[in-house]
């Protein structure tokens, strides 16, 4: 569906028009208006995941989502994967709004929602080292390590992207990676509650 939406956007005005109509614009949640017809502001966290700036942006998001999403679906189930994705989309929008509530630059792409899936994937398949005797504490230490590594990676990518003229939604990527880490365990326990 995401690839189809990107193709349709290309046929009807290109990514800039689609970003304005479907992208998440923090100022809209703060009461700002757009001069064009757009999706209702509360739906833009989801609609923005359908719009991408170029083919590489789309392809990278779809590749990572296919790889990590398939594995997470096997562990947590289809509906839990959908839940992580939707929570990631809304979490990314919230992180962007918190970082600049009056921002007028549209945030587009599925990277935020995919980052939540990556967080669930990392916690599902990462092997926590035994640092302390408590298995639960070792899981939290592993989650903290994964989050720290993700933050450093996102800052580095954001810095490199800015030097190339690209803006990266770093707060969104970091915030929802954390959401994916936090959602993985409860969803896993819910899925296997009767086992």
How far separated are the first and last CA of the chain, in Å rounded? 34
**Rounded average pLDDT over 1-8:** 67
Please give the residue that has the higher pLDDT: either 21 or 44. 44
The domain made up of 2-191 has a fold known as Rhomboid-like fold (1.20.1540)
- Residues 41/104, Cβ–Cβ less than 8 Å: no
Q: Contact, 53 vs 107, CB < 8 A? A: no
Q: What is the pTM of this model?
A: 0.80
Query: How many angstroms separate the CA atoms of 104 and 75, rounded?
Result: 38
pLDDT of residue 60: 83
- Using one digit for the tens of pLDDT, what is the confidence trace for 114-136? 888 988 888 888 777 788 888 77
CB atoms within 10 A of CB 186: 10
Q: State the chain's mean pLDDT as an integer.
A: 81
Q: Are 38 and 85 in contact (CB under 8 A)?
A: no
The conformation of residue 24, written as its DSSP 8-state character, comes to B
Rounded to an integer, the average pLDDT of 172-195 is 80
Domain map (residue ranges) of the chain? 2-191
Burial 31-40 (b: 16+ CB within 10 A, else e): eeeeeeebbe
Short-list 126, 124, 88, 125, CA closest to 109: 88
């Amino acid at each position: 569906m995401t690839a189809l939406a990107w193709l349709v956007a290309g046929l009807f005005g290109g990514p800039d028009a689609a970003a304005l109509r479907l992208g998440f614009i923090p100022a809209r949640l703060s009461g700002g208006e757009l001069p064009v017809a757009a999706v209702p502001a509360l739906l833009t966290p989801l609609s923005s995941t359908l719009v991408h700036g170029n083919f590489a942006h789309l392809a990278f998001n779809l590749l990572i989502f296919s790889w990590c999403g398939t594995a997470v679906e096997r562990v947590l189930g289809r509906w839990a994967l959908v839940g992580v994705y939707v929570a990631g989309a809304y979490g990314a929008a919230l992180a962007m709004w918190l970082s600049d509530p009056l921002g007028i630059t549209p945030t587009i792409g599925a990277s935020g929602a995919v980052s939540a899936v990556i967080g669930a994937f990392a916690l599902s398949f990462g092997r926590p080292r035994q640092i302390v005797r408590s298995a639960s504490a070792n899981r939290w230490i592993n989650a903290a390590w994964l989050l720290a590594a993700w933050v450093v990676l996102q800052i580095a990518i954001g810095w490199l992207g800015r030097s190339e003229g690209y803006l990266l939604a770093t707060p969104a990527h970091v915030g929802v990676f954390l959401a994916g880490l936090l959602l993985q365990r409860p969803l896993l326990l819910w899925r296997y509650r009767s086992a």
